[in-house]
Amino acid sequence: MNTQDLRDVLLSRRRFVQGLMLGGVAAGLGLRAGSALAQAASAAPRELRGTEFDLSIGELPVDFTGRKRIATVVNGQLPAPLLRWRQGDTVTLRVTNRLRTQGSIHWHGILLPFGMDGVPGISFPGIAPGETFTYRFPVRQSGTYWYHSHSGYQEQTGLYGPIVIEPAGGERFPAEREHVVMLSDWTDEDPAAIYAHLKKQADYYNYAEPTVPDFLRDVRAQGLHRALAERRMWNRMRMSPGDLADVGGSTYTYLMNGTAPLGNWTGLFKRGEKVRLRFINGSAMTIFDVRIPGLKMTVVAADGQDVEPVTVDEFRIAVAETCDVIVEPADDRAWTIFAQAIDRSGYARGTLAPHAGMVADVPAMDARVPLSMADMMGAMDDSTHAGMDHGGMAMGAVAPEANHARTEYRNPGVDMRVDMPRTNLDDPGVGLRDNGRRVLTYADLHTIGGSIDPRKPGREIELHLTGNMHRYAWSFDGVKFSDAKPVRFRAGERLRLVLVNDTMMNHPIHLHGMWSELEGPGGAFQVRKHTVNVQPAQRIACGVTADALGRWAFHCHMLYHMEGGMMREVVVA
């Protein structure tokens, strides 16, 4: 048995043990998993409605893997309670911190005064131990959102929960039933230790490094000369085509509504009903690919905003994104909700069923697909291989789109630059291309009603997503957050924010307080979002209206990327 086979066996055994766990919270309450299984499998996040809310941040013993750990929770729940608001109301949320350290809650994607945004050091001081902070703001939007901590690693340790805002005029796409499906990643490790491991050895958790069989497969597919050239290229740059995720299933247990796979969270339905599933990726580091085998999904909202319906078999949901779909189960049977991690190291799983206790077949995970040279270099053809500048990592000839900041050069925090980024939005991403299923892409999404601001941008700001994988350093334009000056928007202006990914990793970028209106390659409005996933070697552009005075966070929503420096402050004045 070779090293990779051994690792796969160990991962499989670990996932089996993880699956045997109920989901963690029952164990924390002193219940045995077997006795509480039926109750927890059909449980939904506890729901709080109205305009006045009392939330308490505290700790709770949980057990997802056979070992008890302490989670950070709200009102003793993981995930935190589902908050239901109504568009047009003003909500008041009194948040008390019962921890021994600072806490906070950020209302992700919600338009509000900057002092209510909940980011310590930028929009407020944080909530000290034993203190209560009162958030109060009008609800100006509707749809599916979520909330989470912006303090330390609390988001990784369980402090996240769903928000559903009912539209004042009723749903554009009504359904007879709905369920929130919140995806997340749990680790028994101290998150600070995970980050320390990544800083010391960026591939510490990567069990997908290329093997001899992988090379032989490439030789058969590409020929010896091409396979050797690509292998030399990857080795010379100290990069790996298997670097799909920084942290995977060797460390993470993937949860659906706080339940591990064999805990089998279940959402009920009656045959013939339209069922709305509100998917939220509340994980710290995991991108999920979601499907319900045998059942079509009609996407009706992205990041809380209604879109022209599009029917698909599968969609990718990056960290912090939300996606609403409507399904219509025609048969009186169970259906598996299957969310596999982008690196295929594990999955979250639940069931749609007419009765509790029913199960459906769980599909095998797809094969792990390595990154391609296009994922590293952007636009390319066969001649590009000979034109690479390995010393400076400049990929090919300089394209008109390239506008690298001088801070990217001679910078130990930057190990590559992409001079010919691709601009297409119709790529589902590595692992989903040509898989035989109809997969959603950003090109399929069109927000109903068009742009909120018809003005043409008065200026353009271009920022590059940069990093050094060997050092596990992340930044914008090669400058980490602690060394960066704020990005300044002029109050009321319409601007274009261009993001160029100079790395091989996906980066879901979140601008607090304002919408990012993604443009198509031709510059036309495409879809309105609060979090935009920028694929490797991709250039995207968003229209932004600077209508929110104050100080705002702007960052990659991969928790350890943000911690590593991929964050800026945006000042609107």
338-367 residue pLDDT tens = 999 999 999 999 999 999 999 999 999 999
> Tokens 């009656």 map to which residue?
270
How large is the average pLDDT for residues 473-483? 95
Q: Is the pLDDT of residue 4 over 50?
A: no
Query: For residue 553, is it within any domain?
Result: yes
Q: Is the pLDDT of residue 149 over 90?
A: yes
For the chain, how big is the Rg over CA atoms in Å? 23
Domain end residue (candidates: 168, 203, 224): 168
The pLDDT, as a whole number, for residue 223 is: 78
Q: Is the pLDDT of residue 541 over 90?
A: yes
Query: For residue 33, is it within any domain?
Result: yes
Q: Mean pLDDT in the chain?
A: 87
Which CATH number characterizes residue 474's domain?
A: 2.60.40.420
* Whole-number Å distance between alpha carbons of 353 and 343: 28
Tell me what percent of the chain is helix, strand and coil, each rounded to the nearest 5.
Answer: 15, 35, 45
Cα→Cα distances 55→61, 71, 80, 81, 128, Å: 18, 16, 9, 9, 15
Q: What is the DSSP letter of 98?
A: -
Q: Is the pLDDT of residue 230 over 90?
A: no
How large is the average pLDDT for residues 302-329? 98
- If one compares 221 and 431, the residue with the highest pLDDT of the two is 431
* Whole-number Å distance between alpha carbons of 63 and 258: 11
pLDDT band at 216 (very low <50, low <70, confident <90, very high): low
Q: Is the pLDDT of residue 217 over 90?
A: no
CB-side neighbour CA atoms (13 Å) of 210: 20
* Whole-number Å distance between alpha carbons of 207 and 343: 10
* Whole-number Å distance between alpha carbons of 277 and 267: 9
> Tokens 């928790």 map to which residue?
559
Polymer length of the chain = 573
Query: For residue 323, is it within any domain?
Result: no
Least confident of 287-296, 310-319, 393-402, 550-559: 393-402
The pLDDT, as a whole number, for residue 287 is: 98
Query: For residue 345, is it within any domain?
Result: no
Query: For residue 52, is it within any domain?
Result: yes
When divided into structural domains, the chain yields a total of 2
Strand-strand pairing, 160-166 and 82-86: parallel
Query: For residue 94, is it within any domain?
Result: yes
List helix spans (H) across 295-396.
Answer: 373-377
How large is the average pLDDT for residues 448-462? 95
Residue 283 · residue 413 · CB < 8 Å: no
Q: Is the pLDDT of residue 382 over 90?
A: no
Residue 486 · residue 525 · CB < 8 Å: no
The pLDDT, as a whole number, for residue 203 is: 84
Token pair of 418, please? Answer: 């992409």
Domain end residue (candidates: 168, 198, 229): 168
Residues with Cβ within 8 Å of residue 446, at least 6 apart in sequence: 307, 308, 526, 527
The pLDDT, as a whole number, for residue 25 is: 53
Q: Is the pLDDT of residue 396 over 60?
A: no
How large is the average pLDDT for residues 211-231? 68
The pLDDT, as a whole number, for residue 116 is: 97
What is the amino acid identity at position 376?
Answer: M
Indicate the pTM of the whole model: 0.88
For CA atoms 512, 518, 523, 526, give the dihedral sign. Answer: negative
What domain range is 154 assigned to?
3-168
Give the neighbor-by-neighbor strand order of the sheet with 106-108: 47-49, 82-86, 160-166, 143-148, 106-108
Query: For residue 549, is it within any domain?
Result: yes
Look at residues 472, 355, 352, 366 and name the one whose alpha carbon lies nearest to residue 412.
Answer: 472
How large is the average pLDDT for residues 71-76? 96
pLDDT band at 160 (very low <50, low <70, confident <90, very high): very high
Domain end residue (candidates: 147, 168, 189): 168
Look at residues 327, 114, 341, 147 and name the one whose alpha carbon lies nearest to residue 244.
Answer: 341
pLDDT band at 43 (very low <50, low <70, confident <90, very high): low
* Whole-number Å distance between alpha carbons of 351 and 370: 30
Cα→Cα distances 380→150, 431, 442, 525, Å: 39, 19, 22, 27
Burial grade of 360 (CB within 10 A; 0-12, 13-18, 19 or more): buried
Residues with Cβ within 8 Å of residue 125, at least 6 apart in sequence: none
- Measured CA angle at 290 (ends 287, 296), to 5 deg: 155
Query: For residue 222, is it within any domain?
Result: no
The pLDDT, as a whole number, for residue 34 is: 31
Give the neighbor-by-neighbor strand order of the sheet with 275-281: 252-256, 177-187, 275-281, 322-327, 297-302, 305-312
DSSP for 243-295, written as a single string: -S-SS-TTTEEEEETTB-GGG-EEEE--TT--EEEEEEE--SS--EEEE-TT-
* Whole-number Å distance between alpha carbons of 357 and 38: 7
* Whole-number Å distance between alpha carbons of 514 and 326: 27
* Whole-number Å distance between alpha carbons of 561 and 567: 8
- If one compares 10 and 242, the residue with the highest pLDDT of the two is 242
